[in-house]
């Protein structure tokens, strides 16, 4: 249905749909995470077993607060690849100290301790050097730890 207002013709039902399509296409491609090659690789395990469907988010200290610099989602073999925010490109970690938070994005939802969600409370700290090639995170409900 066309609507005319002050000499202008509008397509009210098409404007929202077009806007959603454009925004969705720009932000995430309407399919979830965009395929971006490269980035620092990692392995996520729970008690030594790979775990899938967990978003691994990397935080870096910026002046006085922790800033999200990238993330990745673990696959069925526990591997993940870091990408910059909004999957704009690969994230290659530079030497430094980072904190990692975890959140379940699985359809069957994995209940993680609340401390894993908080950058201030997370037990996962990574001291990354130029010779490191992979982040290895292994957690248990009783004793989480991280390795380079």
| pLDDT tens per residue across span 19-38 | 444 444 444 444 455 556 77
- Give yes or no: residues 47 and 87 share one domain: yes
- Give yes or no: residues 25 and 78 share one domain: no
- For residue 16, what pLDDT is reported? 45
- Give yes or no: residues 16 and 57 share one domain: no
From the list 121, 131, 119, 128, the residue with the least C-alpha distance to 148 is 128
| pLDDT tens per residue across span 117-144 | 999 999 999 999 999 999 999 988 555 5
- For residue 37, what pLDDT is reported? 74
- Give yes or no: residues 99 and 128 share one domain: yes
Q: Identify the helix (H) or strand (E) that includes residue 66.
A: strand 65-73
Instruction: Give the separation between CA 77 and CA 118, rounded to whole angstroms.
Output: 25
- Give yes or no: residues 23 and 72 share one domain: no
- Give yes or no: residues 60 and 27 share one domain: no
- Give yes or no: residues 27 and 98 share one domain: no
Domain that holds residue 14: 1-32
Cβ atoms 46, 66 nearer than 8 A = no
Give the CATH number for residue 141. 2.60.40.1120
End-to-end CA separation in angstroms for the chain: 60
Number of folded domains in the chain? 2
- Give yes or no: residues 28 and 47 share one domain: no
* Residue 40 or residue 33, greater confidence: 40
- Give yes or no: residues 28 and 46 share one domain: no
- Give yes or no: residues 19 and 82 share one domain: no
Q: What sign does the CA torsion over 128, 86, 113, 136 have? A: negative
Mean pLDDT of 61-74: 94
- Give yes or no: residues 80 and 7 share one domain: no
């Amino acid at each position: 249905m066309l609507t005319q207002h002050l000499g202008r013709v509008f397509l009210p039902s098409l404007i929202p749909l077009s806007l959603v399509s454009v925004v969705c296409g720009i932000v995430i491609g309407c399919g979830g995470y965009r395929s971006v090659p490269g980035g620092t690789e990692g392995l996520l395990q729970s008690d030594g077993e790979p775990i899938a469907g967990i978003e691994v988010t990397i935080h870096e200290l910026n002046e006085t607060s922790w800033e999200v610099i990238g993330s990745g989602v673990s696959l069925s073999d526990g591997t993940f690849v870091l990408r910059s925010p909004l999957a704009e490109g690969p994230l290659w970690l530079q030497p430094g100290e980072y904190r990692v938070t975890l959140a379940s994005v699985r359809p069957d939802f994995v209940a993680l301790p609340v401390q894993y969600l908080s950058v201030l409370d997370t037990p996962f700290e990574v001291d990354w050097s130029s010779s490191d090639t992979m982040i290895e995170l292994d957690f248990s409900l009783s004793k989480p730890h991280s390795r380079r």
